[in-house]
Structure 1
Amino acid sequence: MTNLEVFNNLNKQLFNGSTKFFDDAFETIFDSWSKVQSFPFYNVVKYSKGKYGLEIGLAGYNKENVLVEVKDGILTIEGKVEDKNVDYVQKGLAFRKFFKQFELAKDVVIDEAEMKDGLLKIKLGYNEPKEIEGVKIDIK
């Protein structure tokens, strides 16, 4: 066996082993994400530089049943649906209580929130941080 053959065999073993390691790691991560509550579904939208937003699908909800608030840098969206005394033959639409939170960067602000046609749009802005004046440090 030549040195090149030994190198190629070793390279294949190392590469296949590392690929399996990363595959296993990512499968574990994505598997745990799939168990996280995903309702309601949402999009993150970039409108322009420094202007982002959330679009949250809330078919069947109205603005009176949805709470949007920011406290301690956490954006909380909570929804409650009144129980309608309906005898469903088949129920494929989700009308349930939900609670979703997003951590905001310290300079992010909520510009506005609008509920229209079952879509909650929350527009996020960005406050430019104030520059700190330079401080001269005396060396002793």
Structure 2
Amino acid sequence: MRQFDLSPLYRNTVGFDRLFSLLDQAVGGPETQPSYPPYNIERTGETTYRITMAVAGFSDKDISIESREHTLTVKGEKPAVDGSESKLLYRGIASRAFERRFQLAEHVEVKGASLENGLLHIDLVREVPEAMKPRQIAIGTAGNSAAQLEATAA
């Protein structure tokens, strides 16, 4: 049987948890490979999510976040550094430019972002309009409709 790898779709979407969990269970997708910058997507509440990206070495001025048409784009670019002051002997902290895109489900909006201790936190919330939320329907008693039918027949 042919194996389909759905992990790229799963890790770049927010708010489609149930759909991709079912697909992952049906297909049994492999573990995802880490990419730059590493990130986590977590569900923090019933309708809230948080994307956390490890962006060590980047300041808030080096990072831009844009949300457009169900796509969240995070870009990071450090300005060129003049190397005349010091010579770098070993580079262990990556400072290359990056661009990461996340597909957002309908009604998922970015509520805010913060940068602390080298971690960029992007908070998301899913706000479904009242007209689309499930609602309870009252059930009438059968005795009332049967009495009306008898009265009409007589």
Q: Does 1:79 align with 2:76?
A: yes
State the TM-score, normalized to the length of structure 2. Answer: 0.61
* Cα offset, 1:130, TM superposition: 3.6
Q: Is 1:108 the counterpart of 2:104 in the alignment?
A: no
Higher relative contact order (CA 8 A, sep 6+): 2
Residue of structure 1 in register with 2:13 after alignment: none
**Shift >4 Å, 4+ stretches:** none
- For 2:121, the equivalent position in structure 1 comes to 121
Amino acid in the other structure paired with 2:36? F
Give 1:26 deviation, angstroms. Answer: 6.3
Once residues 109 and 63 of structure 2 are traced to their aligned partners in structure 1, the CA distance between those partners, rounded to angstroms, is 19
Alignment correspondent of 1:52: 49
Structure 2 unaligned segments of length 5 or more: list them.
8-28, 133-154
Once the two structures are superposed, the pairs formed by residues 5-24 of structure 1 within 5 Å of their partners are: 21=1
Which runs of no fewer than 5 residues in structure 1 stay unpaired? Answer: 1-20, 133-140
Deviation at 1:87, TM superposition (A): 2.1
- Match status 1:94 vs 2:94: yes
Shift of 1:101: 0.2
- What is the TM-score with the length of structure 1 in the denominator? 0.67
- Give the AA of the match of 1:118: G
Alignment of 1:30-45 (within 5 A): 34=33, 38-45=35-42
Aligned-pair identity in percent equals 25
What is the distance in 2 between the residues matched to 1:55 and 1:91? 24
1:95 is aligned with what amino acid?
S
Q: Distance in 1 between matches of 2:115 and 2:48?
A: 19
Task: Work out the CA distance in 2 between the residues paired with 1:87 and 1:72.
Answer: 44
Q: Pairwise CA RMSD of aligned residues? A: 2.4
1:131 paired with 2:131, answer: yes
Paired residue type of 2:126:
Y
Residue equivalent to 1:11: none
Letter aligned with residue 79 of structure 2: E
Match of 1:48, SS state, is coil
SS of alignment partner, residue 131 of structure 1: helix
